[in-house]
Chains A and B, each alone.
Chain A
Amino acid sequence: DVKVTQSSRYLVKRTGEKVFLECVQDMDHENMFWYRQDPGLGLRLIYFSYDVKMKEKGDIPEGYSVSREKKERFSLILESASTNQTSMYLCASSALATSSSYEQYFGPGTRLTVT
């Protein structure tokens, strides 16, 4: 079974703090993704990575950065947390797609509250 793990299920941080969210996958997947999920908005892509040390901006990268030093690990960094970054953060990974299939595997999520 593919396993995607995230460092914390719940996190409470203060405004202005630097926040690190860690994600690890055990299936040697090339692609990794960070989403945030807010009620009524679905999942929105923050950043993704095709390979070690590679990163691409998603749809809402402002206020975030990422790091991928090892293939299995993808970190999301909030340089200076703000209350509008209170959300559920989901990490996902995927292998390369085929012509007929493509699946992303999600971690359990980290619910971040910024006060």
Chain B
Amino acid sequence: GQSLEQPSEVTAVEGAIVQINCTYQTSGFYGLSWYQQHDGGAPTFLSYNALDGLEETGRFSSFLSRSDSYGYLLLQELQMKDSASYFCAARSNDYKLSFGAGTTVTVRA
């Protein structure tokens, strides 16, 4: 089976940097994804790491270490609109995604 662990909540102020860690135990691991979900909305794709290292997309970056079964999502220059839930998801070798329980990020003024 698949198991992903991530913190349940993070609170930070506008302009700050937040790092959401994700550790996973999966079989047939292909890559780690991150999704954002605003309250009442659909999850939307943020990033996918198949290889070790850092991927940067604007204010958001994602990192993967396959040897440590670990990844993180880095949110920089936090804005109020970044208040949302963030899910890490491990892709297995048949296109399945197994999701973590989600991290609620609250951005305060």
Contact = CB atoms under 8 A, between A and B. Distances in A.
B43 interface: yes
Interface in B37-95: 41-45, 48, 50-51, 87, 89, 91, 94-95
A43 B35 CA distance: 11
A45 B2 CA distance: 11
Interface stretch (A14-22, A73-81, A99-107): A99-107
B31 A109 contact: no
Contacts of A105: 45
Contacts of B87: 42-43
Contacts, number: 63
Interface range on chain A: under 10, 10 to 19, 20 to 34, or 35 or more?
A: 20 to 34
Interface residues of B, number: 27
Contact of A48 (B43, B50, B51, B96): B96
Nearest to A35: B99
B43 A43 contact: yes
B12 interface: no
A94 B44 contact: no
A56 B98 CA distance: 15
A42 B100 contact: yes
B95 A94 contact: yes
Interface of A: 4, 31, 33, 35, 40-45, 48, 50, 56, 58-59, 90, 94, 96-97, 99-109
